[in-house]
Amino acid sequence: MKNIYDYTLSELENLFVYLGYKKFNASQVYDWIYKKRIKSFNEMTNVKKELIDYLNENFILGSIEVVERQEDIDVAKFLFRLEDDQKVEAVYMHHDYGHSLCISTQVGCNMSCAFCESGRLKKRRDLKTSEMVEQILAVEKELNLRITHIVLMGIGEPFDNYDNVMKFIDIVNCGKGIELGARHITVSTSGIVPKIKEFAKSDKQVNLAISLHASNDELRRKLMPIDKAYPLDTLMDAIKEYIGKTNRRVTFEYIMLDHVNDTKENALELVNLLKGMNCYVNLIPYNETSHIDFKKSSQERIMNFYDILKKNNINVTIRREFGSKVSAACGQLRANHEEAK
């Protein structure tokens, strides 16, 4: 059985026309599953019974389920069970600008970043497009609200699951689908250079974020093995190419690790690396876990780092901290479940 949430509108239109139905039937089905959020194809009152029977025989309406939910002020973390019993997470955050959801794109991750809980458990498989879409639908149902911003920054490396992620963006952005504006969708990558270049040509108006986390290659290789394949010079060239093609600003994510990457020298190196680029830096207080030895930088060190960037005309923000009472680190809830087994 196929999952209906794996299909873009154009794919569903092509399928229905091939089967002898009308192209507009796809828009009808999209309206029922994404606007009215039906739980059964039999609820579609304006669709021919013949087509409903076909859908019942060949498609399912979703396959993931919520198995755990943790909450704190303005944040909720969800653990999902997939159809093969694998598990992934999504994190809801309430901001003054709206309701944001950070979703996963893979079961586990092969990037092996030293500070990251997700990378401790290696990649089992890519998520299907439907399994990404359903994270949104499930959280909206659980919390009885509409998600306004999506960040692909949960478990996994989105550009290591490129084709499914691109389909996901099409479905989420589609006016007849979930209907999220492209500027409200952010894709984060650890720096897979060929995919950044491909993404630049895709004509998708979504935001691009780069997980940087270090100001020089020597340090970045210790923290992020991907730097061995795509060192900073190569990465920065690709990002400049992306900015040149899209005229869009890029976000650099920078996790603040105590006495590791938070020195004055690191800040000045970062200034030199990013000077003149259409970008901004998002400083992220580290979420400590019992499995990894890194510690969060002190507020004083974060502010000193921030001030150096600011004084050197680098656009910079400090991410608000969420989830002190939940398994806040990305992948932590899944890791706890896996180890409990």
Residue 337 clears pLDDT 60, i.e. is over it: no
Q: Lowest mean pLDDT: which of 154-158, 207-211, 299-303, 318-322?
A: 318-322
- Tell me which of 89, 117, 157, 253 is the catalytic residue: 89
CA distances from 201 to 158, 181, 243, 286 (A): 17, 19, 11, 33
Residue 298 clears pLDDT 90, i.e. is over it: yes
* Residue 122: pLDDT band with limits 50, 70, 90: confident
- Contact between residue 173 and residue 185 where contact means Cβ atoms under 8 Å apart: yes
The residues spanned by each domain of the chain are 2-60, 65-340
> 2-60 sits in which CATH class?
mainly alpha
- Residue 89 designated active-site: yes
pTM of the complete model? 0.93
CATH topology of domain 65-340: TIM Barrel (3.20.20)
The phi and psi torsions of 188 (rounded to 5 degrees) equal -110, 135
* Residue 118: pLDDT band with limits 50, 70, 90: confident
Q: Tokens 């986390």 appear where?
A: 213
- Tell me which of 131, 279, 330, 338 is the catalytic residue: 330
* Residue 291: pLDDT band with limits 50, 70, 90: confident
- Residue 330 designated active-site: yes
Specify the amino acid at residue 16.
F
